[in-house]
């Protein structure tokens, strides 16, 4: 009897963990998407700062290269999160 109860509780807990994992994975992907959107907006503002000469071409090149690299990492993270065992 005790073993039956233990198995039932263990299965119930496993189901809850899987549901939580799916929720957390989706939430993670969503938040990474928001971060990627913000970085794209940052690139726009960097372009404006360059055009209005608030920053130099060198500063722009450095900052935009960093932003683009982070966007690539976020994109990869989002794809990975969405494809892990659905």
End-to-end CA distance of the chain: 35
Tell me: pLDDT of 6 over 70: no
Higher pLDDT, 40 or 12: 40
Mean pLDDT of 32-54: 96
Mean pLDDT of the chain: 84
Q: What predicted TM-score, i.e. pTM, was given to this entire model?
A: 0.70
Q: Is pLDDT at 30 greater than 70 in this prediction? A: yes
Nearest to 42 by CA among 69, 75, 79: 69
Query: 15-35 burial, b if ≥16 CB within 10 A, otherwise e?
Result: eeeeeeeeeebeeebeebeeb
Rounded mean pLDDT, 61-82: 92
């Amino acid at each position: 009897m005790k073993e039956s109860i233990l198995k039932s509780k263990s299965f119930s807990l496993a189901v809850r963990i899987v549901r939580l994992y799916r929720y957390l994975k989706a939430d993670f992907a969503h938040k990474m998407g928001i971060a990627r959107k913000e970085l794209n907006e940052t690139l726009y503002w960097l372009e404006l700062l360059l055009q209005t000469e608030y920053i130099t071409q060198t500063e722009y090149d450095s900052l935009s290269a960093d932003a683009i690299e982070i966007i690539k990492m976020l994109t990869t993270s989002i794809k990975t999160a969405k494809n892990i065992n659905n």
